[in-house]
Amino acid sequence: MTQREVTAPSAGSVAAGAIYDLGYRGYDGPRLGRRAAISTLFWSSLRAAFGMRRGAKAKIVPWGLTVIALLPAAVAVGIKALTASSSTPAPSPFTYDNYLWGIQLLFALFAAAQAPELVGGDQRHRVLSLYFSHAIRRSDYALAKLGALVAALFVMALLPLLLLFFGSILGATDIVDAFGKELPHLGQILGSALIYAVPLGVIGLAIAAVTPRRAFATGAIIAVFIVTAAVSVIFEPLNIQPLSSLAQLANPFIDLDGTRTWLFGGSIPNSPISSTTIALPLYGLVTIAIALIGTALILWRYRSISA
Amino acid sequence: MPLIAARALTKRYPRGVTALDGLTLDVEPGIIGLVGANGAGKSTFLKILLGLIKPTSGSVSVMGMDVVTQGTQIRQFVGYLPEHDCLPPDISATEFVTHMGRMAGLPAGAARERTAEVLRHVGLYEERYRPIGGYSTGMQQRVKLAQALVHDPKLLLLDEPTNGLDPAGRDEMLDLVKRTGTEFGITTVVASHLLGEIERVCSFLLAIDGGKLLRAAPIASFTEHTGTLAVEVEEGAEQLARRLTDHGMTAVVEGHSVLVDLPNAEPYDVVRDAIDDLGLALLRVEQRRHRLEDLFSDQAHDAA
């Protein structure tokens, strides 16, 4: 390390003393390597998914959607608390079974808005060549970004379910008893949130990774959800079974609800799953296929993209 | 063991373009200029070193590690400044360089400290807290250098570091590159199509053309004195050449100059007397130096 005395730049500061130029210092500390780099990328991307460390404008959509997702649960918990003392407590319209199905549009919008945010800019501004010239592999980048989007959707799905969970415990007259009754549902809560977060995150990122253009990506993701929803109802008027039910497999949200019903039960009246004629595990299979094929497409995209 | 060792390195792109054609070279520590025309294969070579693209055939190692199989280990110790824009406009230089430091494996605290240090080194002060999108090209180029330096690399790869800069910005960037290489002892490879820049900052030169190594030697050997004396006269160069040839010298005419070989004997007296006899107006007598440009023009002559 060199230490040189440099004359102060302006005459007025001569009396104030000298500036010490410490020169350049090397770095001998630890280098945490690939694993730390992946975790850095995951966490910074998760923060970016919620517009953190960005301007206020970047927060509007993710926070707005998260608040809207929480709103029905908050109102239900509030009403329950207000009517708890009366002899006939109002039954909550929301359950762990039907809540996520009810707010499915919000997940589609979140994926459409935030998936391009996570991966579009790196392609648009060619930051990708810097990432790829660091101590990570291309697949690491792809999976860290996918993980971040899935985690963001998971948080968005989990928060309202947890609000229902704690609402029903804290709103009960016998809290200990209510806790004992609600606790077994925790697996279902985590599982349902995961069932929604993984495939929707994969779909969103697989589409967003294709283009550096944000508007195109957002439009394409919304288009995919609209088209698949349309295809799923196309044969409905004909009512030919099992054709009508098979067509429903095209809609990822119906697949998700089918998977959820298959694993946790609790068929909900306003979902097509309640009247399906095909076996529930088939929905689970399609959901897994969406996740795997989508992930493979993302990995392939980042292997071949030029940087 | 050389820092970089390439053996018969070849890269062909799918459309039949051959970017590197059996390139074999060694790079020893220092500031190395990688010079060649646009399309000579400079960027391709750097990108192969980084593992950004895969070679078609041949092999190359960095610090004794193979770039294809040990890319992540190598990249921990390599800094890269791409030729093109590569900065996100919506975050500040401090945030971006810290993030890149952490991507290189630095712990959070160290990444922040190193960021402050390298940003000061490249000359970014108050503006480092503002979003990069509002920076001038010169400032952006400094941020690109800072992110390449933040993790204290052992090898720095700079691809056209003065791209898009005005003359003053070029000078500053070249000074910065030179200081980085000499004071910090980081081996630096500077790819450029501008010989003048290479000449200013580098100690060693690798000239490539058409994906092949043209020449590898210390810069000094390119610019040292040649065995040629150039005598420039206002007119009568041919007369002078004839007279000198009569004296048994090898003299050729080049424009208004006569180029005399300097074998062993001192020809100065003979030249002086000849000019005096012929009554010519002498403009200049100088010993010729090699110029880097000759490297490529010689090659062109050979080819023709």
Q: Using N-to-C axis directions, what is the helix angle for A104-124 and A33-49, rounded to 10°? A: 120
B226-257: per-residue pLDDT in tens? 778 888 888 888 888 888 888 878 888 888 88
Q: Do B86 and A36 touch (CB under 8 A)?
A: no
Mean pLDDT value across residues A144-149: 98
Evaluate if residue B288 carries a pLDDT over 80: no
Q: What average pLDDT score do residues B204-216 get?
A: 90
Radius of gyration of chain B (CA): 24
Share of chain A above pLDDT 90, in %: 68
- The confidence band for A13, taking pLDDT boundaries of 50, 70 and 90, is very low
**Which residues are within 8 A (CB) of A116 and not within 5 positions of it... i.e. 6 or more apart?**
A208, A214, A217, A218, A221
Angstrom distance (rounded) from CA B123 to CA A301: 38
Q: Note which residues in 37-56 of chain A have CB less than 8 A from chain B.
A: 37, 40-41, 44, 53-55
pLDDT digit string (tens) for B120-144? 999 999 999 999 999 999 999 999 9
ipTM of the shown complex:
0.86
Asked whether residue B269 carries a pLDDT value surpassing 90, the answer given is no
Residues 6+ apart with CB under 8 A from A171: A77, A80, A81, A84, A178
Which residue in B72, B95, B178, B183 has the most chain A C-beta atoms within 10 A of its own C-beta, making it the best mutation to test that interface? Answer: B72
CB-CB neighbours of B5 under 10 Å: 17
Strand, helix or coil for residue B80: strand
Q: Which pLDDT band holds residue B273 (cuts at 50, 70, 90)? A: confident
A91 contacts: CB under 8 Å, gap ≥ 6: none
Dist. CA B218–CA B73, nearest whole Å = 30
In whole angstroms, what separates CA B81 from the centre of its chain? 14
Whether the CA torsion A198, A200, A202, A205 is positive or negative: it is negative
- Is 50 exceeded by the pLDDT of residue B167? yes
The pLDDT value recorded for residue A83 is 80
Q: How far apart are CA B138 and CA B160, in angstroms?
A: 13
Residues B144-162 pLDDT 10s: 999 999 999 999 999 999 9
Provide mean pLDDT across the span A184-194.
96
Residue A145, CA distances (Å) to A40, A41, A69, A136 in order: 11, 7, 23, 13
Confidence label for A105 from pLDDT (cuts 50, 70 and 90)? very high
What is the model's pLDDT at position A12? Answer: 44
Q: Is B72 on the interface with A (CB under 8 A)?
A: yes
Looking at chain B, which runs of residues are DSSP E strands?
4-12, 18-27, 31-35, 57-62, 65-66, 78-81, 155-159, 187-192, 204-209, 212-218, 225-233, 251-254, 257-261, 282-289
Percent residues over pLDDT 70 in chain B: 92
pLDDT average, residue stretch A116-137: 95
**The predicted structure's pLDDT at residue A163:** 96
Contact (CB, 8 A) for A261 and A273 = yes
- Count H helices, E strands: chain B? 11, 14
List Cβ neighbours of A300 (8 Å cut-off, separation of 6 or more): none
- B 239-268: CB under 8 A from A: none
Over the stretch A29-57, which tens digit does the pLDDT of each residue have?
Answer: 999 989 999 999 999 999 999 999 888 99
A215-256 pLDDT, tens digit per residue, is 999 999 999 999 999 998 887 777 777 788 888 999 999 999
Is residue B32 scored above 90 in pLDDT? yes
Q: How far apart are CA A221 and CA A224, in angstroms?
A: 5
Residue B57, pLDDT above cutoff 60: yes
Whether A127 and B86 lie within 8 Å, measured CB to CB: yes
Name which of A191, A161, A180 is nearest A69 in CA terms: A161
Task: Name the token pair of A301.
Answer: 């995209």
The residue of B106, B150, B180, B183 whose CB has the most chain A CBs within 10 angstroms, and thus the best one to mutate to test that interface, is B106
Q: Tens digits of per-residue pLDDT, B63-113?
A: 999 999 999 999 999 999 999 999 999 999 999 999 999 999 999 999 999
CB contact (8 A) between residue A27 and residue B106: yes
